[in-house]
Amino acid sequence: MRLLVLLWSLGPLLWQLRTSLLRPEALLAPLLEGNPWTLANYRLVLSGDPPFWRYLGNSTLVALATTVLTLLLAVPCAYGLQQQRGLLRWGVGLGLVAAAMVPTVLLFLALLEIARRFDLANDLFALSLPYAGLSLPLAVLLLRAAFGDLPAELEDAARLEGLGLGQRLRHVLLPLMGPALASTGILVFLASWNEYAIALTWISRNDLLTLPIAIARIGGGSVFTIPYGAFAAATVMGSLPLLLLVLLAQRPIVSGLTRGAVKG
């Protein structure tokens, strides 16, 4: 049973890997003498113009900026929300859940308008603004749950010692929120990397494309002209950073999602 699950999950990925390592001829005629394996596909993709790892860099840049911005906004918001009582708390909470469910692609037209109005197109840092906005609902909900998990008397003790709000956050609350911050940050990072529609409309310069867009553009060409081996190589390389991230950070990711589910 476990094997089946693994096969299902990893099958397509492994196949991409295999394809990327094959010579073009080997792709078309599976039974070939000689060594079908090659790294030429990778070399092809990496030597493109702009080089492929440029796209990886762009995506990473945006993802990092988004994560930082989201956390900067979400932490005070979650703390403030946690302090509220009654109608406001419930109302904002419900609003956040509703916002979290909205498919982000439906917002692209309005966001495009904003990009045009404020001249934010083709700017990777500016892209992190809508990304942060899109990640905020989930981030605030997760962090609010985490704040709620902290013992209430801890903050009382700090208040009595004369610690102001900023000091309480810095010395007492945030250090204890480490795991929650990490898992929320990772989830935001992943979501930002994954995003397609907004980046599609905001970025048009070739060298500023994020990875999903670059890949889609490559795929936009005709099946017969693009060497599929190179294709697969691009796919593999596009997947690698996130794969590594997930493998390394699976525990915080899972715990973050779990907590969100339980409290949600």
Partner 1 sequence: MKARTASLLLMAPALLLLAAVFLYPLLLYGWLSFQASSVLTGLEPVPNGGANWGRLLDDARFWTDAFQTLRFAVCSVALELVGGLGLALLLHRPLRGRGTLRALTLLPWALPTTVMALGWRWILNDPHGPLNAAIRFLGGSSYGFLSTPATTWFFVVLADVWKTLPFVGLLLLAGLQTIPEDLEEALRLEGAGRLQILRRLTLPLLVPYLALAVLFRLAQALGVFDLIQVLSGGGPAGSTESLALYAYLNAMRFLDFGYAATVMLATFLLLLVLVGGSWWLWRRGDLQGRREGAA
Partner 2 sequence: MSASGDAGLELRRLGREVGGRRLLDGLDLTVAPGECLALLGPSGCGKSTTLRLVAGLDPASTGQVLLDGGDLTPLSPGERQVAMVFQSYALYPHLSVEGNLELGLKVRGVAAAERQRRLGAVLELLQLAELRQRRPAQLSGGQRQRVALARALLRQPRIMLLDEPMSNLDAQLREELRPELRRLVCGREQPVIYVTHDQQEAVGMADRIALLDGGRMQQVGSPRELYADPANRFVAAFLGRPAINLLAVAPGRQLGLRPEHLHLAEEGPVEARLLRREWWGHQQLLWLDSPWGPVRVLCGPEQPLPAEPRLGWQRQHELWFDPLSGARLHGQGPV
Window 121-180: residues binding partner 2 (CB under 8 A): 151, 153-154, 156-164, 167, 171-172, 175-176
| Stretch 187-206 residues interacting with partner 1 (CB under 8 A) | 190, 193-194, 196-197, 201
CB atoms within 10 A of CB 250: 11
Under rule CB under 8 A, residue 25 binds partner 2: no
Structure tokens at 169: 């956050």
Q: Fill in the amino acid letter for 89.
A: R
| Stretch 185-224 residues interacting with partner 2 (CB under 8 A) | none
Q: Kindly state the smallest distance separating residue 109's Cβ from partner 1, in Å.
A: 5
The partner in contact with residue 144, picked from partner 1, partner 2, none with C-beta cut-offs of 5 to 8 angstroms by kind, is none
Q: Given the complex with partner 2, which of 174 and 242 has the nearer CB atom?
A: 174
Q: Is 40 left (phi over 0), alpha (psi -120 to 50) or beta?
A: alpha
Q: Scan for tokens 């005709």, then name that residue.
A: 222
Q: Kindly state the smallest distance separating residue 74's Cβ from partner 2, in Å.
A: 21
Q: Is 63 within 8 Å of 194 (Cβ atoms)?
A: no
The partner in contact with residue 228, picked from partner 1, partner 2, none with C-beta cut-offs of 5 to 8 angstroms by kind, is partner 1
Under rule CB under 8 A, residue 87 binds partner 2: no
| Stretch 63-122 residues interacting with partner 1 (CB under 8 A) | 73-74, 76-77, 79-81, 83-84, 92, 96, 99-114
Cα 78 to Cα 143: distance, rounded to the nearest angstrom: 6
Say how far residue 63 (Cα) sits from the centre of its chain. Answer: 6
Q: Is 120 within 8 Å of 202 (Cβ atoms)?
A: yes
Cα 34 to Cα 30: distance, rounded to the nearest angstrom: 12
Name the site residues for partner 2 (rule: CB under 8 A): 151, 153-154, 156-164, 167, 171-172, 175-176
